[in-house]
Amino acid sequence: MSLHPAVYAVLFVLLAPVFGGLLAGIDRIVSARMQSRVGPPLLQPFYDLGKLLQKDSRQVNPIVEPLLLGHVGFMAATGAMILGGTDLIFTAFVFALAALFLVLAAGSVNSPFSFAGAERELIILLASEPFFILMLAAICKVTEQSTLGGVLGSAVMVAPKLPGMLIAFSFVATIKLRKSPFDISTSHHAHQELVSGLTSDMSGRLLGYVEMAHWYESVILAVFVILFFNWSVPLGLLVFAGAYGLEVLVDNSTSRAKWQLVLRSTWVVTLLFSGGNLLALFLIK
């Protein structure tokens, strides 16, 4: 017997950080092995988050913390609404709103590093968010369903209908996962010219909010992959795992690109693969 959609929404809010933290731990271990290092333990991200939430934050101004709480709150709300049966296209706008709160928080700090990171994060939004709206609209169109449950229950197999959209998603996911060469607003790599970026003036629990929101975001991307493989949830998770491993490989073998290249390449990929895929659907009945 299936659970009520509200139960799935609550489970997402409670369990998504667990899966997101484990994914971050696996990411660190795989990255370390690629660099011939042992790497941290699997649960290290949880230890780090716990220490951050216990530390006192350096309050740069009184509005940063409310904005970051809005960032993590709306990111959690996005996943909860998707699993709770809310219209998928509407959730795309909530997804963008969550990211906008992070931009506002970083932009409110009187620091050149944080402000530069905020500007670059805004460019990331301009590059990626139109694709997610187009992607969810296309999925709703081919399945004639507007909710997660409807798409999963549809007889139409989404991935064979939208292969170009799936390719474009793998490209845009590099941006949302903050992997090189598209990690232009923040980076954990010391060789990059702007380390930390929009989080450079955040500390303590403020930095913990950003990390937790990213864990939610990673799980939301996994849900998006499942939408493409709506006939088999395990297959969707397997594809996401393989794609994430490829993202880690790319992250460890490339350097940061310029923001102009990020913006142009993302729009070109969105236009060619997503637009071409949709055009083919309308022309080939």
Q: Helix, strand, or coil here: 199?
A: helix
Distance of CA 49 to the CA centre of its chain: 18
Q: Tell me, what's the pLDDT at 126?
A: 85
Percent residues over pLDDT 70 in the chain:
94
pLDDT value, residue 265: 85
Cβ(137)–Cβ(93) under 8 Å?
Answer: no
Give tens-digit pLDDT for 112-160: 777 777 888 888 888 888 899 999 999 999 999 999 999 999 999 999 9
Residue 165: pLDDT band with limits 50, 70, 90: very high
- Supply the pTM of this predicted model: 0.92
Q: Where are the domains of the chain?
A: 5-283
pLDDT in tens, 199-220: 777 778 888 898 999 999 999 9
15-19 long-range Cβ contacts below 8 angstroms, 24+ apart? 16/76, 16/79, 16/215, 16/216, 16/219, 16/220, 17/212, 17/215, 17/216, 19/215, 19/219, 19/222
Per-residue confidence (pLDDT) for residue 264, from 0 to 100? 86
Q: Using CA atoms, how far apart are residues 82 and 93, in angstroms rounded to an integer?
A: 12
d(CA 39, CA 41): 7
82-86: average pLDDT:
93
Farthest CA pair distance, the chain:
60
Nearest-Å Rg of the Cα atoms of the chain is: 19
Task: Let me know: does 210 contact 199? Beta carbons within 8 Å.
Answer: yes
Tens-digit pLDDT profile for residues 181-194? 777 777 655 545 55
